[in-house]
Amino acid sequence: MELVFVRHGRPLHVVDAVGGADPALAEIGQEQARHVGAWLMGEGIDALYSSPMNRARQTAAPFAELSGLTPVIREHLREFDHEGSAYVPTEVLKATDPDGYRQRIAAGFIDEDFDQVQFKADVVAAVDRIVTDHRGQRVAVVCHGGVINAYLGHCLDFPADDYMKFDVDYSSVSRVMVSSKFQRSIASVNERPHFVGNPHLAVRGG
């Protein structure tokens, strides 16, 4: 079967959120979602899954409306920072706090108290359940950069505490083929065909 991972579109910049930052899509993120949704219509998608976070659900919505597929929400497709009080897009952090941006890169965008091993295990279990339920099908999974890195890292046998290696852009597509014996092969990372003719949508992720 084929997993088509879609990273969410660009969200709003949120700081000091009570109960955890869960921003909606910014205007450009909404446009990115419409374009990737229209493009997915040509991909023969059999099922649609989404993180429960606003930015993922809103990215999945245009494709769900076009295709008639109902997004299945899975808790462990949420991002590792779901309990944080802020969401600062990388390009905003780079412009407003260059030193902080460099520190975040050095840390792999991971906080010291974050349990990378457990996060990866939860992601892999959630995605492998999707694989089990959709043998021989093509499934779109709308989620987050950390989630995609965790599963790609698992495919490549990266260390369980050091797998944040891929720069995954907003609304980009990454594909993984999984056999009936759970042999995994990465087919692509960071596809952006839906940006062709719309260069303003190619905002670097974070």
Task: Please say whether the dihedral angle defined by the alpha carbons of residues 32, 38, 40 and 42, taken in this order, is positive or negative.
Answer: negative
- Sorted by where each starts, the structural domains of the chain and their CATH numbers stand as 2-197 (3.40.50.1240)
Cα–Cα nearest to 74, from 15, 154, 141: 141
206: number of CA atoms within 13 Å, CB side? 19
Q: Determine the pLDDT at residue 81.
A: 78
Nearest-angstrom CA–CA distance, 184 and 191? 18
Confirm if 169 and 190 have CB atoms less than 8 A apart: yes
* Residues in Cβ contact with 99 at an 8 Å cutoff, skipping those fewer than 6 apart: none
Q: Determine the pLDDT at residue 140.
A: 98
Nearest-angstrom CA–CA distance, 34 and 32? 5
Confirm if 109 and 164 have CB atoms less than 8 A apart: yes
Q: Tell me the whole-structure pTM to 2 decimals.
A: 0.88
Q: Determine the pLDDT at residue 167.
A: 87
Q: Mean pLDDT for each consecutive 10-residue tract of the chain (206 residues)?
A: 97 68 92 97 98 97 98 95 64 62 54 81 97 97 96 95 89 96 95 89 66
